Structure 1
Amino acid sequence: MHVIASFNHSIYVEMAITALEEAGIMKENIYAVPLHQRAQKLRMFDSITGSDGTSLFDLGAALATACAVIGSSYGFILTGGPILWGIIGAATGFLVGFTIDVSRQKKRAIAASSNQKSEVIVLVACVKDEIAPIQEVFWEHLAYGVAICE
């Protein structure tokens, strides 16, 4: 039997391992593995096969519509006509919206990469009678999740 738990990389991992050793689990039966963080930065634009659920098109499309309406309205007064000023307004609105979305996405990516912490997976080999105390130790020491493999 194996009991597996994931922890944030913190002092609680060491405290949980020490508590397991004090409870009679031998060191040879406890295995802790730190997970490595992503080495490459997240991509800004999605590919055909994968998407992160955010869109850089939405705000640009909304502002393009609003600016096209305003541009075509003032186009009746300005030289060039409403069609030309509607196209200019749509292009300007889309570029402004796209720029705002890209800058927000970059700020989110920077914040997410600075807040990202690695995790530690702890695996304990045990007999069936020791599962409940091991789970209790893991939960007391703030494990993210605990699983039992039979």
Structure 2
Amino acid sequence: MVSLTVNGSPQQIEADPATPLLYVLRDELALNGAKYGCGLGQCGSCTVVVDGEAVLSCMVPIMLLEGREITTIEGLGTIDAPGPLQEAFIELQAAQCGYCIPGMMMSAHALLRRNAQPSEEEIREALATNLCRCGTHMRILAAIRRAGELMQAASLPATDQGRAG
């Protein structure tokens, strides 16, 4: 049995210790945001965040995750209350087919937790393991920059955001 926390909820996982995290998320916890793409760690569609770092969940066996904090796309917000990253991707229409988007967003989430104002080079570096065949890269880059702005605005008092206080 492996104990871990997924999207803030403690989980006890009874599975073969060599089972990749991706299968546990999808098959045991019904969290289907992380996608199976290549199964080889080459496409990034399975990216989740483990203890603040972007991780390819198809490559990480659950035995290495005892006591760790995992965040999936489902942990960023909901349909009714999207998080800043989701809000920015919606606002800028950064998704086309959407298959790669959860992985892109999770890589961006890890980056924005460290640096809410990343340069284009830093964003590109953070997304280096995430592939997109639809060609929405420029909108994805813009959405990540916008999410950083939204995150910064959310952390300021109302008077600092230009609103009457």
Q: TM-score surpassing 0.5?
A: no
Question: Could you say which TM-score interval applies, normalised by the shorter chain?
Answer: under 0.3
Q: Which structure ranks higher in relative contact order (CA pairs < 8 Å, sequence separation ≥ 6)?
A: 1
